[in-house]
Amino acid sequence: MTLIRLLIVFLLFGIETPLFSGEPQDQLQKTTDRVLAILSDPTLKSSEKAKERRELILKAIDERFDWEEMARRSLARHWSQRTPEEKKEFVILFKELLMQVYMDKVEGYSWNKIQYEGETIEGSYGTVKVRIFTPKEQPIRVEYRLTKKGSTWLVYDFLIEGVSLVNNYRTQFNEIIVKSSYEELIKRLKTKISRP
């Protein structure tokens, strides 16, 4: 959950960009700018507008993440054993889990800044490195891994201080499946998502 909270920090905080940047970084910044604009919009601040505000934020985030790729990598070797219907269900549950965590925290963060440290592109894969500064100005290293689909760069994993979100979930999911079953994993995901 800490990894997700730090992702939220990235999406909410202002950004310092270098003079030159490529497509992956530019597209990440556009998503951040959209979220900031939604959160700053005075017409969306009232409690009556909470649902609309959340839907707009979720739409912005949804367009920047490759949920299927993240889900596939998180399930790892167990992915190939799933039927097409199971894969579809798992992607939906995985996305709902991350979105729920995101929306539970998004409005509780104070704004700060992010500084881009550079990006690399190898074919259809890209990496964007940033430093997130906490309110006490302590830097946190984050590395976003993206894949290009058409003209869009989508996040499929990110590392915080060297710890991968995908690897973190992969370890948890594998442990549940090995000790119990895939069905038990699905049951736990549904229970977690259904909690208010």
Task: Look at residue 89 in the predicted model and tell me its pLDDT.
Answer: 97
**pLDDT tens string 134-192:** 777 778 888 999 999 999 999 999 888 889 989 999 999 999 999 999 999 999 999 99
| Most confident by average pLDDT, 3-12, 48-57, 65-74, 101-110 | 65-74
**pLDDT tens string 3-54:** 555 555 555 444 444 434 468 999 988 887 787 788 778 898 888 988 898 8
Length of the chain: 196
The single residue listed with the structure tokens 């539970």 is 104
Q: Where are the domains of the chain?
A: 2-194
* Cα atoms found within 13 Å of the Cα of residue 2, Cβ hemisphere only: 8
Confidence of residue 115 (pLDDT cuts 50, 70, 90): confident
Closest residue by Cα to residue 146 from 130, 132, 160, 157: 157
Q: pTM above 0.85?
A: no
CA distance 36 to 20: 22
HEC profile for the chain? CHHHHHHHHHHHCEEECCCCCCHHHHHHHHHHHHHHHHHHCHHHCCHHHHHHHHHHHHHHHHCCECHHHHHHHHHHHHCCCCCHHHHHHHHHHHHHHHHHHHHHHHHHCCCCEEEEEEEEEECCEEEEEEEEECCCCCEEEEEEEEEEECCEEEEEEEEECCEEHHHHHHHHHHHHHHHCCHHHHHHHHHHHHHCC
| Edge-first strand listing for the sheet containing 139-149 | 14-16, 113-122, 125-133, 139-149, 152-160, 163-164
Considering the four listed CATH numbers 3.30.390.30, 1.10.1200.10, 3.20.20.100, 3.10.450.710, the one that applies to the domain covering 2-194 is 3.10.450.710
Candidate from 6-20, 55-69, 114-128 with smallest mean pLDDT:
6-20
